[in-house]
Structure 1
Amino acid sequence: MILAYWCVLIAALMPIGFVAYAKFAGNKKMDFEQNRHPRRWLEQTEGAQQRAYWAQLNSFEAFPPFAAGVIIAVISGGSIGAINFFAVLFILLRLVYGWCYISDRATLRSLVWGGAAACTVALFIVAAIG
């Protein structure tokens, strides 16, 4: 299996890491009773916990085009080296994005988001020039 496919799996699991931070790493930790209504509870968090929740939501939004880009680039016969490069860079940038979001670095977060989005576009370009 090529490295980019593993990156798709990592990207699929990344939201779980962000929401785990939101639930368990802050002043207001979720307990089992609150887990009956996790979305309601998460919407009431503040600060870094709330931003981690928002990073989770954004990760869900970024995943489908990234996964499609990897799959389409591979099946179109794109350069495996280029596909792997952009997939790994996407993962690294999305991790930095999450850190920027949680630590409230809004401008840097937006720049990093743009870089990760560019990686997704690059995967489609790799597919096009296959």
Structure 2
Amino acid sequence: MSFAYWSILIAALLPLAIAAYAKSGSRDNNTPRDSAEKLSGAKRRAYAAHQNAFEAFPFYAVAVLGALTFGASAKTVGVLAAVYLAFRIAHALLYIADKATPRSLAYAGGLLTNIAIFALPMLQINFV
């Protein structure tokens, strides 16, 4: 199985890793969504990054599966998948660090990379 497929699992688990940081130290597991409202500072931003990672995931998963299904090179998709994951990890770290402009640039880089993955079969471009 190619890295591109595995990257979908990594992207799916990324929001959970971010949430683990956001909620570390929280003792309220009875109403975990309510306790998120009480977060502040870096942990509140981590929770927002967690939500953003979930919002970005469906398009990414569809783009990778679509590209591979419709004939894009698995190696090219894999390279772009690694770039996408790097952007998404950077986005989360920059969100937590409260670096708004670099965070927005990381978001845009991830989005553009995702669009590139989605468009690969149509453009018949293989970088690798």
Equivalent position of 1:116 in the other structure: 110
Task: Indicate yes or no: 2:23 matched with 1:30.
Answer: no
C-alpha distance in structure 1 between counterparts of 2:64 and 2:80, whole Å: 9
Equivalent position of 2:4 in the other structure: 4
| Worse-superposed segment, 104-113 or 120-129 | 120-129
Q: CA RMSD in A?
A: 0.8
C-alpha distance in structure 1 between counterparts of 2:79 and 2:111, whole Å: 14
C-alpha distance in structure 2 between counterparts of 1:127 and 1:108, whole Å: 30
Report matched runs for 1:1-130 at 5 Å.
Answer: 1-24=1-24, 29-31=25-27, 34-130=28-124
Answer yes or no: is the 8 Å Cα contact 1:78–1:129 preserved in 2.
Answer: no
Unaligned runs of 5+ in 2: none
**CA distances 1:74-107 after superposition (whole Å, capped 9, x unpaired):** 0001122221111111111101110000010000
% identity of equivalent residues:
39
Shift of 1:47: 0.3
Unaligned runs of 5+ in 1: none
SS at match of 1:35: coil
Q: How many residues of Structure 1 are paired with residues of Structure 2 in the alignment?
A: 124
